[in-house]
Structure 1
């Protein structure tokens, strides 16, 4: 009787990721994944009932890498420093080749129950909800003006990603070194604070 191991399970997930990234979910076959993992289809099925389940596994794992950046949010430091520190960790995480590949796959599999929606629900959605709570704490502390935190969060996410994400997704050469990421994040935070900083004259906006 074969003994299941976490090491073998991870090897299968890694092999599946390679195949999904190369040929897409629809064209990926259990035979090819088994060959990459160095085992048989029977071994694969002893760990996963289907390639859908396998796809969901690494989507969930990738989502957790995104969540990790949000767990660094702290209200105990000045708002600009907090947003800059988070932004650098966030961009470093999401611009990694593996995370970029997962995002591409999530877009391709957007209509599947265990596809893009699963990745979004378990990663980005949870993370940005944490950010909205964090922004509300900053508003309550008088460090940001009163606003719709869901919209402010969407603006902040877009600002962080504006300069580099699209280039990296399309494989266009881009400077993702730590020094440039720090500059990109600082510009994003500057624009965000210009719009939402507590020194902005208070006015009612239907946003």
Structure 2
């Protein structure tokens, strides 16, 4: 019996990521991925039971590399000025979601959500966890009277909506526009926080 290893799993994820980016979700096949990995389809299915599962593993890996560190640092920043902590988080978050690879992955999820479980799985492992983490930070800020008392989960959704959908949504997700520059991201986050903090200031 072949032994599964983290190194092999990582290799599969990296190769599969390239295949999805090159061919798109529809044209990418487990057969093509297994060929490029250099093993059998049985080996590939031993790590990932379906193309959906493999794709979601790639998306989750990106989130763990970029979003998770940002939310963890935010939750550890309760002693900072909320404006400073949220500006840093907002820039990290927007940098990730406006990256070309993240945009491509999101488009795939939206297109597949109507006829598979990929949308639900993506929501549970990605957006839901982000909202919960930001809500914990906001609840702590409310406890310290840095922000007015409100439902922290709703406040988190308001903040993330301002960051992700307030300005860049149509430009970066629905058009073939280049990713925003660091300077543009900084200004987008500043304007989003102007609105958010004006509504939630203590």
**TM-score range, shorter-chain basis?**
0.7 to 0.9
Tell me, yes or no, if structure 1 residue 167 matches structure 2 residue 168: no
Output the aligned Cα RMSD. Answer: 2.4
Residue correspondences, number = 197
Tell me, yes or no, if structure 1 residue 155 matches structure 2 residue 158: yes
Structure 1, gaps ≥5 residues long: 199-207
Cα pair 1:164 1:174 within 8 Å, conserved:
no
Q: Provide the rounded CA distance (Å) in 2 between the counterparts of 1:175 and 1:33.
A: 28
Cα pair 1:34 1:41 within 8 Å, conserved:
yes
Alignment of 1:126-205 (within 5 A): 126-161=129-164, 162-174=166-178, 176-198=180-202
Structure whose CA Rg is larger: 1
Structure-2 residue corresponding to 1:8: 8
Q: TM-score, normalised by structure 1?
A: 0.81
Q: TM-score, normalised by structure 2?
A: 0.83
Structure 2, gaps ≥5 residues long: none
Return the structure number with greater helix share: 2
Structure-2 residue corresponding to 1:37: 37
Structure-1 residue corresponding to 2:122: 119
Alpha-carbon offset, residue 157 of structure 1: 0.8
Q: Provide the rounded CA distance (Å) in 2 between the counterparts of 1:17 and 1:37.
A: 12
Alpha-carbon offset, residue 3 of structure 1: 6.2
